[in-house]
Amino acid sequence: MNAARITIFVVIALAVALTVNAVLLNIANGPRDPVGQLSPLAGIVRLPAPVTTITTTTTTTRPTPVPPQRGEGSQGSHQDD
């Protein structure tokens, strides 16, 4: 008796699942309108013209440091006052 109930439940669940899938697929297919053809009720949306802006960038140059020559620099000879 228990196996019969399980079998009936599985058959009913399968039938419900197949019916729901068929209904959802039919709804998802929608109307058979040709692609790219507008209906008279469709409004044409006009977008504003794109605004182009020109940005200028300025670059500053820093002087390249010159390496100390022989006898100069932190290890060279310095006279303290």
What would the pLDDT profile of 20-45 be if each residue is shown by its tens digit?
998 888 776 666 666 666 566 666 77
Domain presence at residue 49: no
DSSP state for residue 47 in the 8-state scheme: P
Domain presence at residue 51: no
Domain presence at residue 7: yes
Structural domain including 19 reads 1-29
Residue 14 pLDDT: 97
Yes or no: say if 39 and 33 are a contact pair by the CB < 8 Å rule. Answer: yes
pTM over 0.75: no
What number is the average pLDDT over the span 45-73? Answer: 76
Domain presence at residue 72: no
Tokens 């039919």 belong to: 26
Tell me the pLDDT band of 11, cut-offs 50, 70 and 90.
very high
What's the structural domain count of the chain?
1
Percentage of the chain surpassing pLDDT 90? 22
Rounded distance between C-alpha atoms, residue 4 and residue 6, angstroms: 5
What number is the average pLDDT over the span 50-76? Answer: 73
Domain presence at residue 81: no
Domain presence at residue 16: yes
Domain presence at residue 48: no
Domain presence at residue 2: yes
Residue 72 pLDDT: 56
